[in-house]
Structure 1
Amino acid sequence: MFRKTCENEFGECLGEYGELEKIIRLQAEEAIPRINHSNTEKIIRLQAEEAIPRINHSNTYKRRNDWWDAKCSGWTEQRRQALRRYKSSPTLGNYIHVERTNALVKRNLKRKKRKNFLTFGASINLDRRVDMVWRSIRSLAGTHRKLEYIQDEYVACFQEMLDGLTPLSDTNRLVFPEEIGRTSAVISKIDGLRKSAPGLDDIDNHMIKNLPDRTIQILNGFFNDRLPAWMILTTI
């Protein structure tokens, strides 16, 4: 009687273990695509960071004016010196000197800008695209442009491609992209083509078409399930 009871309990435990084994195997199979997807994303990020050029973060502002030269820098330095002199000794004479220097510097910079614009206008090719002409004209505006960190721009570009990417059920299609964009030229092309299509918040199909063939093959393995039908890479 005791032996029969033990055999029954052992059989029940064995049956429960079999069910537990099935559950564990099922959960493991479901976790494999997520693990591979995480590794794939990690490889893309690491290779993107390797190809990103490093810049000096201490100087994140740069003038876009092609006409700016040493004379312009000298004029602005004269204006700063006059202002410092007035702050150290706020007399009427120093105030008049500040106003006179400001007017002189403003006139010289305006004259310099106009001269450069006339030179640019005379060199415009009539066969050039209108958007390229306006882009060149805007570069003469005389404003400061804050240079975003190049690393942040490229990481954002890849993040845009990775956001919302769901794990694939077919683990055989998950390819470790060891050859994806190791050169800065490829990543620069990705970023440039992405910005060349204003108004598109998602991945641009034209950008994908201009990627190297090997990179397309690598991306094709895990981006097809995420992209809309009109962006499927098989149309390339």
Structure 2
Amino acid sequence: MLFIDKSNHIFAFGPNLRPVAEAENGEIVVFETLDALSNQISSEEQTLAAVDFSKVNPATGPLYIKGAELGDALKVDILDIEVAERGVVVIAPNAGVLGDMVKEPKTKVCKIKDGYVYFGDLRIPAKPMIGVIGVASREEIPCGEPGKHGGNMDTKLIKKGTTLYLPVFVEGGLLAIGDLHAVMGDGEICVSACEVSGKVTVRVGIVKGMAPPYPVLET
């Protein structure tokens, strides 16, 4: 089993990425991840105003998969998602779909324990998912944006048990993963979910000559 440390991360996908590790077709790989804010927030006194936005949405990697070539599909079986025991939710005026309803920036630190996220007096079932997962793209695209390469897709369907097929644009694919959520609604309408660091275990594979035009999920 291959392990990629969270210190190896990128903030943009693109054609000139350099791999930090190599995997065989069919190998199991663990990606250790920072949260979407690069673990910059440690207390509820800190808001988005204190965040260095050049360090938002880090994705651990990239991983070179031997044998992956242009025109192939990279198959990623999500075997497990482990999240830390602490997550953060942030809101700010004019950020997100409902940002016009937010009067001041606020931060909520949530305890995560025994399969639940504790938001004040609320106990919400944890449903870990991956916000950012993708491969090297033809042009540089920030990790905060989605595209044909994957990236910040932010769908609850990218969870344990899902298989993701990504089009390969450069040799080796160059897979990177980050932006885990302990729980998220149908989109980040107030600009964040319960942002959390953690570990993602995947099995990487190659489907020769079967690159999809866009990422495809099998649940």
So what's the TM-score if we normalise by structure 2?
A: 0.21
Instruction: Say which one has the larger Rg.
Output: 1
So what's the TM-score if we normalise by structure 1?
A: 0.20
